[in-house]
Amino acid sequence: MQHPHLKNLLRTALMLVLSAGAALADRVELTDGSVVIGKVLSAEGGKFKVETGFAGTIEIAQDKIKTFTTDEAVNVSLAAGSTVLGTVQGTDAGIAVVANDGQMSAQTAKVAAVWRVGGESPEARKLREEAEKAKRRWKYEASVAINGRTGGSEKFGGAVGFKATLESSQDKLVFNLAAEKAEDNGIETANRQFGSVDYSAFFSENNVWYVRTSVEKDSIKALDLRSTTAFGIGRKLIKKEMQDLELRAGVSYLYETYADGSKFDSPGLDISLIHAYTFKNGKLNNVLTYTPAFKEFSNYRLHHESSYEMPITASMWKLKTGVINDYTSVPQPGIDRLDTLYFTSLILNWQ
117 in the same domain as 178: no
pLDDT of residue 334 exceeding 80? yes
- Work out the pLDDT band at 23, boundaries 50, 70, 90: very low
Distance (Å, whole) CA 231 – CA 212:
6
Residues 319 and 249 in one domain: yes
Same domain, 164 and 297: yes
Residues 100 and 200 in one domain: no
Cβ proximity of 230 and 259 under 8 Å: no
Whichever domain contains 241, its CATH number is: 2.40.230.20
pLDDT tops 50 at residue 280 = yes
Same domain, 154 and 48: no
Region 3-15: mean pLDDT is 47
Q: What is the amino acid identity at position 195?
A: G
pLDDT at 2: 46
Q: Would you state the pLDDT for residue 208? A: 97
Domain that holds residue 79: 4-128
- Specify the pLDDT at position 140: 95
Q: Is the pLDDT of residue 65 over 70?
A: yes
Find the mean pLDDT for residues 18-44: 81
Which of 128, 146, 180 corresponds to the end of one domain? Answer: 128
Residues 284-298 pLDDT 10s: 999 999 999 998 888
User: Do 214 and 289 sit in the same domain of this protein?
Assistant: yes
Confidence band of 56 (pLDDT split at 50, 70, 90): very high
- Shared-domain flag, residues 102 and 140: no
Residues 20 and 39 in one domain: yes
Other Cβ atoms within 10 Å of 212 Cβ, number: 21
CA atoms within 13 A on the CB side of 3: 4
Please state the domain count of the chain. Answer: 2
pLDDT averaged over every residue in the chain: 88
Do 96 and 157 lie in a common domain?
no
Q: Are residues 296 and 336 in the same domain?
A: yes
Q: What SS3 state is found at 64?
A: helix
- Quickly state the pLDDT bin for 87 (edges 50, 70, 90): very high
Last residue of a domain, one of 128, 147, 169: 128
Query: Of 18, 122, 16, 24, whose CA–CA distance to 72 is shortest?
Result: 24
Residues in the chain: 351
36-49 average pLDDT score: 94
pLDDT above 70 coverage of the chain, percent: 91
pLDDT in tens, 198-251: 999 999 999 999 999 999 999 988 899 999 999 999 999 999 989 999 999 999
Query: Quick one: CA dihedral 216, 265, 324, 231, positive or negative?
Result: positive
**SS3 state of residue 11:** helix
Q: Give the integer Cα–Cα distance in Å for 226 and 218.
A: 9
The pLDDT, as a whole number, for residue 314 is 66
Q: Looking at the structure, do residues 170 and 239 belong to the same domain, yes or no?
A: yes
CB distance 310 to 318 below 8 Å: yes
Confidence of residue 152 (pLDDT cuts 50, 70, 90): low
Please report, for residues 95, 122, 134, 211, 310, the alpha-carbon distance to residue 127 in angstroms, rounded to integers and kept in the order given: 28, 9, 10, 30, 32
Position 17 confidence tier, pLDDT thresholds 50, 70, 90:
very low
Contacts of 73 (CB under 8 A, 6+ apart): 85, 86, 87, 99, 117
**Quick one: pLDDT at residue 63?**
94
Same domain, 51 and 32: yes
pLDDT of res. 5:
53
Query: 128, 145, 179 — which closes off a domain?
Result: 128
> What pLDDT is recorded for position 1?
45
Instruction: Answer whether residue 300 shows pLDDT above 60.
Output: yes
